[in-house]
A and B are shown apart, each in its own frame.
Chain A
């Protein structure tokens, strides 16, 4: 095995868990058919990005169990975006990582909490760490970023920079950016979307260029809050390498893509403590 196949599913993220489960299962089917090793989904793709997501947390637990089993049966690893009530009682916006056998590898939480996260009751997590994806006798150190973690906020450290310094060789970006919403400054929605799009695009390109780290990014294709929408996503979904898009998909509707990353560029020797466990 000289490459690893990562894929992205630009899918609708609705407020309805059962609808989201169906969308993710379809994406897993596609991934299995295309021999994908790890499938990346948008931010909050299982739970939906809604203020009442926690009203029926048992339903989300059941949905997660269903997706975990389905992906393991199909032998597809997951980088699954969802809101989640952690065991410590803290609500997180996170990416959950599973290997193709269904083993849970860990989760990374959103660092920067935006206003909407606050309304949803999600807390930002200032801890920065990597997820180790085992492959053969090596590991791929993955940095996980959710939405604005990639673009940064004023007076806060750059997360892509920190993750690169920690040793990340691939950045996984699950997002669900604002789109088609009238900005509060009274200027036009169209201009707002265009400026946000250009801002996202150049941040993704610049981070992959300066940090020399491939980025896989996936956006929701509905509105931010799950309302049905057929316009452009907030940001491009695809893979960037050294500042350029190497795969892209149309900007509206459900779209899948994959990319084969050479292991020589991204896998490192497994540390001894990993071997013993």
Chain B
């Protein structure tokens, strides 16, 4: 049995080019492998890019995903991979903004979809998913222990008007870790570009206050990773929309610089986050 589980985060450029994103993700996986990371978290839409034309060539996106899956297996790195994706569901093919979870032996563990979609998602045909699901992540070489994690994408953590508060629902489900892949607006305030600096500052504080408050109130750690380019994938060297790192009990336990590619990891004490199944009273 292992005592800790190492999660890594990759604050990386999420460009509109799948080819470029593949190279970026492989580099992040290389870093994760060198640092014995068990699960690597990427930003929102890190593979597909967050651009209106992500779906112009679904075969290319599928090939890219297969390539990353194989690469991560080879490097023995588990993934919490943010991507837009044409998901084949019960009711047909639905475009989702999702986190895809893989164990470090390549086993696909499942997905969590963005719950609260925004205007940009709608423009891309992304459908929100009202289901709020926990994700079981096996840890250690024999997978005998598991973590019940909650996946949140961007505004899912910060909330919106008239919608379920996702962190509070996940907390009620008993999750022990929040995984937050994000790609917030920055560097260009659409309603009034002249106010971009103020908007960025207000939104940065808004994000920070939410992270700290939710982790403080719930005592559930949060690992969060942002894109370091513009939301739509344009090259950008300013500050990310939100801090990437790990927050525990209302304080940042690890942080990275706010610009450019940055990697980090954090060793969670398993006793704090391991999932304890409910007692089966039939056996008592």
Binding site for B on A (CB under 8 A): 152, 154-155, 157-158, 161, 183, 185, 187, 191-192, 195-196, 198-199, 201-203, 205-206, 209, 242-244
Contact = CB atoms under 8 A, between A and B. Distances in A.
B26 interface: no
Contact of A185 (B168, B203, B219): B219
- Candidate in B163, B205, B251 with the most chain A CB atoms within 10 angstroms: B205
Contacts of B217: 185
A157 B251 contact: no
Taking chain B's interface residues, is the majority helix, strand, or loop, or is none over half, making it mixed?
A: helix
B209 A209 contact: no
Interface in B153-199: 159, 161-165, 168, 198-199
Contacts of B30: none
B108 interface: no
Nearest to A152: B159
A187 B249 contact: yes
Interface residues of B, number: 23
Nearest to B215: A195
A183 B162 CA distance: 28
Chain A facing B: main interface SS: helix
Interface of B: 159, 161-165, 168, 198-199, 202-203, 205-206, 208-209, 212-213, 216-217, 219, 249-251
A198 B219 contact: no
Contact of B206 (A154, A183, A187, A202): A202
B202 A157 contact: no
5 contacts: A157-B161, A205-B205, A206-B206, A242-B198, A244-B198
A22 B210 CA distance: 39
A155 B216 CA distance: 19
Nearest to B204: A202
Contacts of A242: 198
B161 A187 contact: no
Given A185-B217, A191-B251, A195-B216, 18 more contacts: A155-B164, A157-B162, A183-B216, A187-B219, A191-B250, A192-B216, A196-B213, A198-B209, A198-B212, A199-B209, A199-B212, A201-B209, A202-B206, A202-B208, A202-B209, A206-B206, A242-B198, A244-B198
